[in-house]
Amino acid sequence: MRIALGLEYNGSHFHGWQTQKSGVRTVQLAVEQALSSVADHEVQIYAAGRTDTGVHADAQVVHFDTHACRPSHGWIMGANIKLPADVSVLWAKEVPREFHARFSARGRTYRYFILNRMSRPAILSRRVTWIHRPLDAGLMHQAGQVLRGRHDFTSYRTVHCQAKSPVRNLHSLTVSRHGDFVIMEVHADGFLHHMVRNIAGVLIAIGSGERDPDWAGEVLMHRDRRLGGMTAAADGLYFHRVDYDAQYEIPVIARDAGLLMV
């Protein structure tokens, strides 16, 4: 049978999602080891999106195949007993064989949290990106609207990105202020390597007054990463939601952005 799981994790102490030959600590390795123990056989998982070192997730979706028969709560509780404290299984359900966590996804959403105040974070250290200089969230939102739609995002991906095509359809981009926090939310059919962090880097430069609002569009049109802005830190980035066809009945966990700010 094929089982889908929902995961959340704090990526601060992981070397990204994907298992590496060097054997460093990764989310995939931790989850596969836990599930293999519960299933009593080796398990390989496939994720909706591969997050980088330091990036978090509150709604990652994975799937795996198994011949072990366990109730949903058995997968949840059994895996969570074996997992480290910074990873948790939120839900589990059997899905049709044609379901694929990555290839069945219709869209993905990331959130980027910026703590915008003079003092650095303590409680939220490594869970938000700290920018001490004042940011104009309204200007950042306005500047980001030029990125909506289907574009060649070469300027907004790392030069090491292995995606065959740089074209993505960015459905929405919002930037809003909530007290000392500036939150960017981006929804697209898919993302390139470092795409969200590079967008955040450009909008931070605009919001701080270092660049004019038109710069976001100029960077896009250059189609040259060397002419783009800085790559924003990983600390504030969260893999927030995955969209699937209703037929799969994949749970959607509503997350209030304010929960991070408490």
pLDDT tens readout for residues 75-100: 999 999 999 999 999 999 999 999 99
Residue 254 lies in a domain: no
Same domain, 83 and 113: no
Task: Give the confidence band of 252 by pLDDT, cuts at 50, 70, 90.
Answer: confident
Distance, CA of 153 to chain centre:
17
Query: What CATH number did the domain enclosing 69 receive?
Result: 3.30.70.580
**Of the candidates 102, 121, 108, the residue with the CA atom closest to the CA atom of residue 63:** 102
Same domain, 71 and 152: no
Residue 262 lies in a domain: no
Question: pLDDT exceeding 70 applies to what percent of the chain?
Answer: 97
Q: Print the domain residue range for 217.
A: 107-239
Q: What is the pLDDT of residues 20-30, one digit of tens each?
A: 988 899 999 99
Active site amino acids = 52
3-state secondary structure of 261: helix
Q: What is the pLDDT of residues 166-178, one digit of tens each?
A: 999 999 999 999 9
Query: What CATH number did the domain enclosing 144 receive?
Result: 3.30.70.660
Q: What is the pLDDT of residues 1-13, one digit of tens each?
A: 999 999 999 999 9
Same domain, 185 and 134: yes
More confident residue, 153 or 159: 153
From the number of C-beta atoms within 10 Å of its C-beta (0-12, 13-18, 19+), residue 80 rates as middle
Report the pLDDT averaged over residues 65-78: 96
d(CA 69, CA 64): 13
Same domain, 44 and 124: no
Identity of the residue numbered 26: T
pTM of the model: 0.95
